[in-house]
Amino acid sequence: MAILVDRETRVICQGITGAQASFYTERAISFGTRMVGGVRPGKGGSRHLGLPVYDDVAAAKADTGADASVIFVPRENAADAIIEAIAAEIPLVICITEHIPVLDMIRVRECLAGSATRLLGPNTPGIITPEACRIGIMPREIFRRGRVGIISRSSTLTYEAVWQTTDAGLGQSTCVGIGGDPIHGLGFVDCLELFATDAETDLVVLVGEIGGSEEERAADYLSGPAYPKPVMAYIAGEHAPAETRMGHASAIIQAGSGAAAGKKRALRGAGVRVVDSPVDIGAAARDLLAR
């Protein structure tokens, strides 16, 4: 089924009446995603884009049997929206909203512990299993069904990696954006675990960047018992100005930790094929799959 989402995934949208949410819900419907409803407090009982609207997530879930929720709620209330979805035991929550206060996200992490929910994001472009399910804001034209799994922290760089694997004639099984914020839901390791047992994925591409420790933790994990598939990676920011906060909240190099060189070394040490330049992603993927 690829990972996390497939043709059967039933999706609701929190904040569905907003301009962005409406735009992407329409696109998701035309893509073939099974959109089954939306949530907007105070507008329960009405319909929007042909879908039923509910006052809260619990009601939406009870009525539609939703197993995923995509959140477009403005950052002021986004954390509460995630917590509401966790309380309603939605299995997969995808939060597109960016610039959520960090301490709000720590509160969300506290609620996630021991819950039935997996969170993607915030500040994620979403997730796509080509020809089956599209949740979020990624441009659909660049995708093609194939056997490469992609996990990425950055939005625009995800598109570049997708486009290159499409251009190389490979295509994707599932492409997951874990988001660029320092405090977030699923990470590289969680997604690697899912791809490990996915029959439709033959190669995993990690698109990382400076700052944080996602890449180091992935390297630790991949150094353990043999991972069943080849893994490759590109880490953005080798030549970014040091000690500087880049656009993503978590892309900060501090006092020698979180720098590109250390991440690459750790991943190479774990048997990952690391390309130094983003323009080599497509060719390296083709090369690894040909072996």
Partner 1 sequence: MNLHEYQAKAILRDHGIAVPAGRVAETPAEAESAAKEIGGERWMVKAQILAGGRAQGTFKGQDLKSGIRTVTNLTNVGTESRSMLGRSLITPQTGPDGMLVDRVYVEQALPVERELALALLVDETSQSLVLLLSAVGGTGIEATLRDQPEAVARIPVSTESGPDAESFDGALKALGLDGRGADSIRDLARQLTALARELDFTLLEINPVGLAGETCTALDAKIIADDNALFRQPLLVGLDDQDDSAGNRRRASRDGFNYIRMGGDVACMTVGAGLSMATLDTLVQFGGQPANFLDLPPDSQVNRVTSALELLLGGDGIGCLLINVFGGGIMRCDTVSDALQVINNVRPFRVPVVVRLAGTNAELANRRLREGLPGVVQAANMADAARLAVQLARSGKSADPRAPENWLKKIIHRVTGQQEERD
Residues at the site binding partner 1, with contacts judged by CB under 8 A = 20, 75-76, 99-104, 106-107, 109-110, 125, 137-139, 141-142, 152-160, 163, 180, 182-184, 207, 209-210, 212-213, 217, 234, 236-241, 243-251, 255, 276-279
Closest to partner 1 by CB, 7 vs 109, is: 109
The encoded tokens of residue 260 equal: 């590109």
3-class SS of residue 146: strand
| Size of the chain in residues | 291
Smallest distance, partner 1 to C-beta of residue 35, A: 18
Taking residue 283's Cβ as centre, other Cβ atoms within 10 Å add up to 13
Closest to partner 1 by CB, 239 vs 291, is: 239
Smallest distance, partner 1 to C-beta of residue 45, A: 30
Nearest-5° Cα angle at 125, 123 to 127: 125
Give all strands (DSSP E) within 168-240, no chain letters.
Answer: 172-177, 203-209, 231-236
The answer to whether the peptide bond before residue 228 is cis (omega within 30 degrees of 0) is no
248 is catalytic: yes
Mutual angle of helices 75-87 and 57-64, in 10-degree steps: 50
Smallest distance, partner 1 to C-beta of residue 36, A: 23
Closest to partner 1 by CB, 71 vs 157, is: 157
Nearest-5° Cα angle at 208, 93 to 82: 15
The secondary structure of residue 228, as a DSSP letter, is S
Smallest distance, partner 1 to C-beta of residue 199, A: 29
Cα–Cα dist 128/232, whole Å: 20
Closest to partner 1 by CB, 68 vs 112, is: 112
The set of catalytic residues is: 248
